[in-house]
Chain A
């Protein structure tokens, strides 16, 4: 079969909602797009552990400490599922991690913002995980089998993440003035970065069209962002807090909330490495990895010795 026939068959498979599996023929650009997007997604889970990890040792109660630890651990698990799924495309975890550490791979920019008070843990759960879940639910139907299966597993496990975040904010919103101020401060700082998580407007998004045709992406950036706004405006009322956007207004005609302009200059600055914590996040990941090198090597050496002994025995 020539390339054109293969391509037609491939597209027909996608159009018929038949999942693409690792050993199937696929266009190189499809493979590369997936590697880029999936590894980026995996890196986001791993780097995303750091801002929340910043509060594990200071969580205010034992229950909160346990919940937060379990949640961050889930993120490690999700990173692992995604790295594994990406490995089916013929790239090793090592190569992906090298790319992250050398600045060749991206991760969600939202994790380059600092966690400054306890309420930030609530805001991350409610807004950042809330935004992530919008995207992830859509991705359960993505065309690449291993990616789709990883997302199904992840979504099942993530369902408590957003709730625990909301629960933290809800508790604070009914607490002392200090606690309410803490919660509001966290929302003020996390709202816009969360809005930016959906990426550039559809009109500006470079990868969107092809990804949609290949059903890697199932909903556009702006559609997802709108869902997120509509949900959040309803939920913030329960908290009695305010989202920091004076332009938020119900639009009867669109049957959606309108929202104010997003500061894309800030977005691009953070993406390009000039956010508050970019350097620290990568430095922390690199340090963990470098510090772990002797451990990983020793485990391999020990496995080899043990195998040699078994052969002798």
Chain B
């Protein structure tokens, strides 16, 4: 049970890191290329800590790479939001910001987890995520309130991504039990704080919440968008094509 919960946390960091790594060498300015790669590196590091911990709890004794690379698509439990493609820098920045606000609150809560190892991982990761949040928030403001073009692109990105945000606050049955045990964070309760911060940033960035609300979810249950399959095909390629080898 704890195993599944940790995998879900790990998958979010891993899939988002993979998306960001696609940008390495293709960023909008050299300085931003470096910054985005830093975030990607942080997230890979976090996912490794989580996968390593999950591996210790795994009945099949899989190591971090077997867990990261060798599960079928429907066993990945990441949010739909983080698997969405890098359509343009507006999508990259907004996806990051919406997730960072959540990741920050979630890790903050986890620092008080009764599971000591999880609390330790959260404490370490939180420092990194604080910076990610500062970075992505500043960019939402810059691009939202920058030029007419950047504003349009950001609004467009918000219109495309907003529907996925609600999934962050859906509690699974596993989470319900772990919350009772004082191990997991109750994501439902994070929502008001998250919304307050996000609304205030979006307002300052002169962006409007699209109508229609949150209506897409499934990632946490293993039902993904079409994009994840392609991401995994690429990410898993070596491990699938040459099984059981040391690299």
A residues sitting closer than 8 Å to B (CB atoms) are 46, 49-50, 53, 56-66, 69-70, 72-73, 76-77, 79-80, 83, 118, 168, 171-172, 175-176, 178-179, 284, 287-288, 291-299, 301-303, 305
The DSSP consensus for interface residues of chain B is helix
Provide the bound-state CA to CA distance between A64 and B69, in Å: 13
Q: Tell me, in angstroms, the Cα distance from A176 to B147 when the chains sit together.
A: 55
Q: Is B150 touching A294 in the complex (CB atoms < 8 A)?
A: yes
Whether A302 contacts B142 by the Cβ 8 Å rule is: yes
Q: Which of A65, A79, A118 has most chain B Cβ within 10 Å?
A: A65
- In the bound complex, CA of A293 to CA of B80 (Å): 29
B237 surroundings in chain A (CB, below 8 A): 58
Q: How far is the CA of A48 from the CA of B30 in the complex (A)?
A: 13
Q: Determine if A62 and B64 form an interchain contact, defined as CB atoms under 8 angstroms apart.
A: yes
* Cα–Cα, bound, A24→B88 (Å): 44
* Bound Cα distance from A65 to B21, whole angstroms: 9
- The listed residue (B18, B21, B89, B147) touching A292 by CB distance below 8 A is B89
A179 touches B245 (CB 8 A): yes
- B: which residues have CB within 8 A of A? 14, 18, 21-22, 24-34, 37-38, 40-41, 44-45, 47-48, 51, 64-65, 68-69, 88-89, 141-143, 145-147, 149-150, 153, 234-235, 237-239, 242, 245-247
Nearest 9 interchain pairs by C-beta = A292-B28, A298-B146, A298-B150, A60-B238, A49-B25, A53-B25, A295-B28, A60-B247, A73-B37
On chain B, the residues within 8 Å of A294 by CB distance are 147, 149-150, 153
| B36 nearest CB neighbor, chain A only | A73
Can you name 20 extra interface pairs (CB under 8 A) apart from A62-B51, A298-B147?
A58-B235, A58-B237, A65-B21, A66-B45, A69-B40, A77-B34, A80-B34, A118-B247, A171-B247, A176-B245, A291-B26, A292-B27, A292-B89, A294-B150, A295-B143, A298-B150, A299-B142, A299-B146, A301-B146, A302-B143
A28 to chain B, nearest CB (A): 28
Minimum Cβ distance to chain A for residue B7 (Å): 14
Q: How far is the CA of A93 from the CA of B231 in the complex (A)?
A: 34
**Interface-centre pick from B51, B141, B238 (highest chain A CB count, 10 A):** B238
Query: Are B65 and A61 touching (Cβ within 8 A)?
Result: yes
A73 to B161, CA, bound (A): 28
- Determine if A50 and B25 form an interchain contact, defined as CB atoms under 8 angstroms apart: yes
8 contacts between A and B (CB under 8 A): A57-B234, A61-B65, A61-B69, A66-B44, A69-B24, A76-B37, A178-B242, A292-B29
Could you tell me if B65 and A62 are in contact, using CB atoms closer than 8 angstroms? yes
A254 CB, min distance to chain B CBs, angstroms:
39
- Alpha-carbon gap, A172 to B245, bound state (A): 9
Query: In the complex, which residues of chain A have a beta carbon less than 8 angstroms from the beta carbon of B51?
Result: 62
Query: Which residues of the partner chain B approach A175 to less than 8 Å between Cβ atoms?
Result: 245-246
Please indicate the chain B residues that have their CB under 8 angstroms from the CB of A298 in the complex: 142-143, 146-147, 149-150
- For residue A64, which residues in chain B have a CB less than 8 angstroms away from its CB? 247
Q: Give every chain B residue within 8 A of A179 (Cβ-Cβ).
A: 242, 245
Closest A-chain residue to B67, C-beta based?
Answer: A62
CA distance A67 to B45 in the complex (A): 11
Q: Which of A72, A118, A176, A303 contacts B25 (CB 8 A)?
A: A72
B29, B48, B68 pick with most chain A CB within 10 angstroms: B29
Q: Which residues of A contact B47 (CB under 8 A)?
A: 62
B10 to chain A, nearest CB (A): 10
Beta-carbon contact of B26 and A295 below 8 Å: no
- Are A72 and B89 touching (Cβ within 8 A)? no
* With known contacts A76-B33, A292-B27, A57–B44 Cβ distance under 8 A: no
Say which residue of B22, B38, B68, B234 sits within 8 Å of A73 (CB atoms).
B38
By a CB distance below 8 angstroms, the chain A residues around B143 are 295, 298-299, 302
Closest approach, in angstroms, between the C-beta of A303 and any C-beta of chain B?
8
| Cα of A57 to Cα of B44 in the assembled complex, Å | 12
CB distance from B197 to the nearest CB of A (A): 20
Contacts A58-B234, A176-B245 given; does A297 touch B147 at CB 8 Å: yes
Q: How far is the CA of A298 from the CA of B238 in the complex (A)?
A: 40
Could you tell me the distance between the alpha carbons of A288 and B141 in the complex, rounded to whole angstroms?
22
A288 engages B247 (CB within 8 Å): no
Query: In the complex, which residues of chain A have a beta carbon less than 8 angstroms from the beta carbon of B44?
Result: 62, 65-66, 69
A288 touches B245 (CB 8 A): no
**Among B41, B147, B149, which residue has the most Cβ atoms of chain A within 10 A?**
B147
B235 partner residues in chain A, CB cutoff 8 A = 57-58
Residue ID in chain B nearest A49 by CB atoms: B25
Residue of B nearest to A77 (CB): B34
For the complex formed, measure the closest distance between the CB of B139 and the CB atoms of chain A, giving whole angstroms: 8
